[in-house]
Structure 1
Amino acid sequence: MESNMSIEETALNLIRDSKEGIFQNELWKMLEIDSRKCSRVVSKLLDDDLIIREQAVSNGARTYLLKLKEEEKPCFDLLLSGDMFSPCAGCRDACQPESCEKLTSWIANLNDDEKTEDK
């Protein structure tokens, strides 16, 4: 365990790196701390709304499965391309997507955004 990183940061990184989540009874062993201290670390991460905790059984023992809390992305972000709002949202035109100039322009803007992010 790195000394310049807090125990909470280390625990959060371990939880983040485990795609399926990590059992609390395994986390304290990985952190090389006792279960009581691990409970305090987990409580802090829960209070900070960084993780979620589900009741679970691991090797016959009751424990908790800890997972990183996924950030909720605002739905409107999916409708934005740069500063252009999707022309299809609320559109009343009876056009075909393949021949809609507004949609084609919006998609081209999406492609430009992706190229800019890759650089």
Structure 2
Amino acid sequence: MEIEDQALKLIVDSPEGVLQSELWKLLKIDSRKCSRIVKKLLDSEKIDRLEHKSDGIKTYRLRQKKKILNPDLIMAGGELLPCVGCEEECSFEECPYLMDWMYQLAIEDYQEKSE
């Protein structure tokens, strides 16, 4: 595994992100090489870098960049996925709202293939 991939994995695996001042230690590389890796990850838009102060010392918290969700993935028949904001305590296997939504999705898919 390349060092960039290792760095990205460490960042992605940490829900709060990783401090840049700790990342180079975790990767067992020097801080200059770590800075170059972070720049590549930033330039490729895989991570975000947020300023962080710890004991008066400035560093950066590195987090996985949040991907923008394609709204088409949660829409069917002009209706939003019913699970979004649902307060019912059901299982997805038995949810009538979800089944109706999936049925609508299947109809749309069939209609697109028939055209």
Q: Calculate the TM-score normalised by the size of structure 2.
A: 0.68
Structure 1 residues 1-119: aligned runs within 5 Å: 5-80=1-76, 85-86=77-78, 88=79, 106-107=100-101, 109=103
Distance 1:69 1:44 in 2: 13
Q: SS state of the match for residue 16, structure 2?
A: coil
Alignment-derived partner of residue 93 in structure 1: none
State the identity %.
43
Distance 1:72 1:25 in 2: 28
Q: Tell whether the 8 Å contact from 1:23 to 1:58 is kept in structure 2 after alignment.
A: no
Q: Tell whether the 8 Å contact from 1:22 to 1:66 is kept in structure 2 after alignment.
A: yes
Q: SS state of the match for residue 59, structure 2?
A: strand
Q: SS state of the match for residue 30, structure 1?
A: helix
Q: SS state of the match for residue 66, structure 2?
A: coil
TM-superposed deviation, 1:60:
3.3
CA deviation string 1:83-105 (max 9, x = no partner): xx24x47xxxxxxxxxxxxx786
Distance 1:73 1:108 in 2: 19
Distance 1:10 1:78 in 2: 32
How many residue pairs align between the two structures? Answer: 89
CA deviation string 1:60-81 (max 9, x = no partner): 321000000111111222113x
4+ runs deviating over 4 angstroms? none
Computed over aligned residues only, the root mean square deviation of the Cα atoms, in angstroms, reads 2.4
Q: Calculate the TM-score normalised by the size of structure 1.
A: 0.66
The gaps in structure 2 that reach 5 residues or longer are 81-96, 107-115
**Aligned-partner residue type, residue 33 of structure 1:** I
The gaps in structure 1 that reach 5 residues or longer are 90-102, 113-119
Q: Which has the larger radius of gyration?
A: 1
